[in-house]
Amino acid sequence: MASKWVDERDIKFILHDVLDIDNQVLGKGLHADHDAEMVDMVLAEAAKFAENELAPTYPDEDRGKPIGAEFKDGKVTTPDSYKRLWQLYTEGGWMTVSDSYEVGGQQFPQTIYAASNNMFLACNQAFIMYPGLTHGAARLVEDFYQGPFRDLLLEKMYSGAWAGTMCLTEPGAGSDVGMLKTTARRNADGSFSITGTKSFISSGDHDLTENIIHPVLARIEGDPAGTKGISIFLVPKYKIKADGSLGELNDVITGNIEHKMGIHGNATCTLNFGENGNCVGYLMGEECQGMPIMFHMMNEERQGVGMMGVALASSAYRHALQFAKERIQGSNIVNMKDPDAPKVPIIQHPDVRRMLLAMKSHVEGLRLLTLLCYHCMDMAKVAETEEEKDKWGGMVEVLTPIVKAYCTDRGMYVNDLAIQTYGGYGYCKEYPVEQMMRDQKINCIYEGTNGIQALDLLGRKLGMKKGLYFMNLLGETQAAVATAKANSDLAREAGLVENALNAVAAAAMDFRGLIKTNPFVPLIGASDFLNCFGDALTGWCHIWMANVATQKLNELYAANGAAGDPAKQFELLMNNKEAQFFSGKIEGAKFFIGRVTALVPAKLDVLKQDETSAMRITEEAFAV
């Protein structure tokens, strides 16, 4: 029986057969020491850790003892199982799978780190957020911090001895970070005294490590208002002595933890810095460069949140699939008028099959879309020319808001379908899909709401390098479409994908013009435009996978004497798991492209109409 939690087979297909990392990335540059066999060993270990260690803790995280993270007497505690998980995760080297040898990493491609995380997040997002934020904070230290204890910080954070966070949000400064009130006052020794309150800080306090390093956005006294006056500081929970040992509490006090809809195992904290005037921080990078520096971590987290959306959707789908195979209800539609007809598993009912294929096609398309983003990072690293490096890096810029917003919104849709497949049982806590949906929702909000991502895509990313990065991404789609057009079985779908991508390109041009003449039209339509772009790109991902699957399936037919023989092909599809896998890829592609991607041109036509009722309606008219 297939795993209810992870899809190692699909991940390997994407990495080796679709993205072709064996030839494109492995054995080159930083990854000269790695080959496909080593990658598969890592993926196998990741699947084992996810299935055997993380998955059993998932319901315990939500309904175990204690229930999630707790705050008592000023201290935060995590579920008992998390201590062992943290030890296994860090000792297994998962924190630094793709980091350099110099910091103790294994220097695998970013896609391997992402693929491993896809499996981990599918089993317990709340826990994986602790090391995920630690890794992001450690990367900031590595890239931008040259102050005291740099080497010690890198050693402790990458090894998992110390943890990390990301402290941006304040009670009065959410999406509008420039409104922050946290201040930094210069000290004689070059350090700064930090004063202020940060809210909604994921993994903000816990009992997994002896120290926590907080990158904190603050304004140095006298610096300009707004985002241009913001700097960033490293603030340890406990002060660090000259010899590297820990000293007293650094006046970083946890005020409370939030009682949330989901991810109960992750402590979302209010942190008070410098209530007693004794909180010391160290400047990272240059003064007033806090936002550009923090965005390096923010983009990493946005890509990771997109992967969270895919992972939770994947596990929900796989649980729903198993339930549909086991739940006996009703007769087959062919025998519906026969009162004596045998009862069948609900997977035989057309509407259930529709929901299952909708989930499957979304999950698999989104998985390739997210891994593609990481693959572009890898391609930039192994690029031999600055032009190639810029091309791949630019594609990451365009893909990031789409991966973050589209994959979480559509992930939420998959979680909804999973509950619907279970029926009433899915709404009950005895089954995990209701928890998965509660855990999923925050991903649409984290690291800049999905509406913010849409504005970022429309207002910044599409116009970067005068639209070159956007056009480069569209250019990458042409080869797969052309290949599919030459295949009579996929030609229709190829045409639908091509039409959708052309419509996205045309709408982007129209929106750029409307920004100057009627800006409310594109601003109101920004989120819908992002989702249309996502539908088109995911259609491309599916046609790309279908091309590869068709080739692989034909090779299987030939190897088994079934080429040109429908009867033998049917027999192979009934008994050969590889044939079933490739056939599923092709049918999933046809379903998604025909039911989702095909609608993109019509949706974009609607968005370009002069429809601004959302701005014309008065505030009072929303509810009278």
pLDDT tens per residue, range 142-169? 999 999 999 999 999 999 999 999 999 9
Confidence of residue 338 (pLDDT cuts 50, 70, 90): confident
Mean pLDDT of the chain: 95
Structure tokens at 395: 């594609």
Phi, psi of 480 (to 5 degrees): -65, -40
Structure tokens at 475: 């250019």
DSSP 73: T
The shares of helix, strand and coil residues in the chain, as percent rounded to the nearest 5, are: 65, 10, 25
Q: Is 26 helix (H, G, I), strand (E, B) or coil?
A: coil
Catalytic residue positions, numbered: 447
Half-sphere exposure of 18 (CA within 13 A, CB side): 30
Query: Which among 145, 146, 248, 237 has a CA at the least distance from the CA of 198?
Result: 237
pLDDT tens per residue, range 403-430? 999 999 999 999 999 999 999 999 998 8
Angle between helix 520-559 and 566-575 (nearest 10): 110
Domain ranges of the chain: 8-149+151-156, 160-290, 291-476, 483-613
Beta bridge partners of 281: 192
Q: Could you give the percent of the chain with pLDDT greater than 90?
A: 89
pLDDT tens per residue, range 55-70? 999 976 556 554 578 8
**Start-to-end C-alpha separation, the chain:** 56
pLDDT at 102 over 70: yes
pLDDT tens per residue, range 481-525? 999 999 999 999 999 999 999 999 999 999 988 888 888 999 999
Strands 211-220 and 183-186: parallel
pLDDT at 36 over 60: yes
What dotted CATH number matches 291-476?
A: 1.20.140.10
Mean pLDDT for 463-472 is 96
Structure tokens at 232: 């960033």
Tell me how far apart the alpha carbons of residues 303 and 299 are, in angstroms, rounded to a whole number.
6
Query: Can you give the pLDDT at residue 70?
Result: 87
Q: What CATH class is the domain 160-290?
A: mainly beta
Mean pLDDT for 465-483 is 97
Query: Can you give the pLDDT at residue 64?
Result: 53
Q: Which CATH number fits domain 8-149+151-156: 3.30.450.20, 1.20.1440.130, 3.40.50.300, 1.10.540.10?
A: 1.10.540.10
Structure tokens at 396: 């990451």
pLDDT tens per residue, range 586-610? 999 999 999 999 999 999 999 988 7
Instruction: Report yes or no: 484 and 543 within 8 Å, Cβ to Cβ.
Output: yes
Tell me how far apart the alpha carbons of residues 411 and 125 are, in angstroms, rounded to a whole number.
14
Cis ω for the linkage preceding 236 (within 30 of 0): no
